[in-house]
Amino acid sequence: MAKKIKDDLEDVSLLKFALVSQLKRTYESSDVDVLLFAGADGRIYASYIPDSIGHKIFELTNLISSNLLHVSQELAMGLQQSVIEYDFGTVIFSSVGKGALLISLFTGKADLSENMGKIEVTREVILHVFEQRPMTPEQLSEYSDDVAAELRSLSKIVFNEMYTQSSEYKKNMELLADIKEKITSVMGRGEADQVLAMAFNEIASSPKWMTEDLWPLLVEMIIREQIRPLHGDYVADICEAEWIPDIKHKLESFV
């Protein structure tokens, strides 16, 4: 039961991250000032609000609150989108499935024709994510090219976020720091960065994607190609005798 609760919480957290990430992408690629994904009851599921927003946004959010019930009733009757323009901005309500809506706020004059397409793509992406549909090729083929491309980009962002929270990623970051410290003790900090960059390039990998068999190979290569030619056999032999077993021990000790 405890594990199920933990898994459910992780799923909810990941879902929230995916929704917010998509809202942020829309903000960065359009003229929208604030984006909200909300339920018809006014509950906010996800939002993207920049750090610095003008005073007009507060007037718009107050108007949203007063209009939300009316708009929600219209959405329930089949309304897909509602555009309300005020002297100080524009609010676009877009239906997202049953009982939810995407709210896009513009605090100034904007060319809505250029933004409507991006909002529609976001609406479809949010619906896909919120309903937790699969990201299979068959599923993506049902969408337009723009929506499918946006879903693929979002999927990559979410995957990277999941990976950076994984034990595998954390293990690799700890090993990288340890190996860098070892190299620094012999060659200096500036040289350590350069040596590591060359070594990762040579084995065609990067720190976060390293596997257990690659780490010892990386260290052996650095000793053979960098430390031994520059610092001699004596120093290289000591590094080899101490570093390789230590790295292998650390790899085995990670759970």
3-state secondary structure the chain: CHHHHHHHHHHHHHHHHHHHHHHHHHHHHCCCCEEEEEECCCCEEEEECCCCCCCHHHHHHHHHHHHHHHHHHHHHCCCCEEEEEECCEEEEEEECCCCEEEEEEECCCCCHHHHHHHHHHHHHHHHHHHCCCCCCHHHHCCCCHHHHHHHHHHHHHHHHHHHHCCHHHHHHHHHHHHHHHHHHHHHCHHHHHHHHHHHHHHCCCCHHHCCCCHHHHHHHHHHHHHHHHHHHHHHHHHHHHHHHHHHHHHHHHCC
- Strand residues in 26-137 grouped as ranges (E): 34-39, 44-48, 81-86, 89-95, 100-106
pLDDT digits (tens, 9 = 90+) for 132-170: 888 888 888 999 999 999 999 998 888 877 777 777 888
Q: Indicate the SS3 state at residue 103.
A: strand
pLDDT the model gives residue 2: 34
pLDDT digits (tens, 9 = 90+) for 189-210: 888 889 999 999 888 888 888 8
Maximum distance among all alpha carbons in the chain?
81
CATH of 2-164, one of 3.40.50.2300, 1.10.620.20, 3.30.450.30, 3.40.190.10: 3.30.450.30
CA–CA distance, 77 with 74 (Å, rounded to integer): 5
CA–CA distance, 57 with 67 (Å, rounded to integer): 15
- Is the CB of residue 34 less than 8 Å from the CB of residue 51? no
CA–CA distance, 156 with 102 (Å, rounded to integer): 23
pTM: 0.63
Q: Is the model's pLDDT at 47 over the cut of 50?
A: yes
CA–CA distance, 22 with 45 (Å, rounded to integer): 13
| Two structure tokens written together for 219 | 């260290």
pLDDT digits (tens, 9 = 90+) for 77-113: 777 888 888 777 888 889 888 788 899 988 877 778 8
Which residues have a Cβ under 8 Å from the Cβ of 69 and sit 6 or more positions away? none
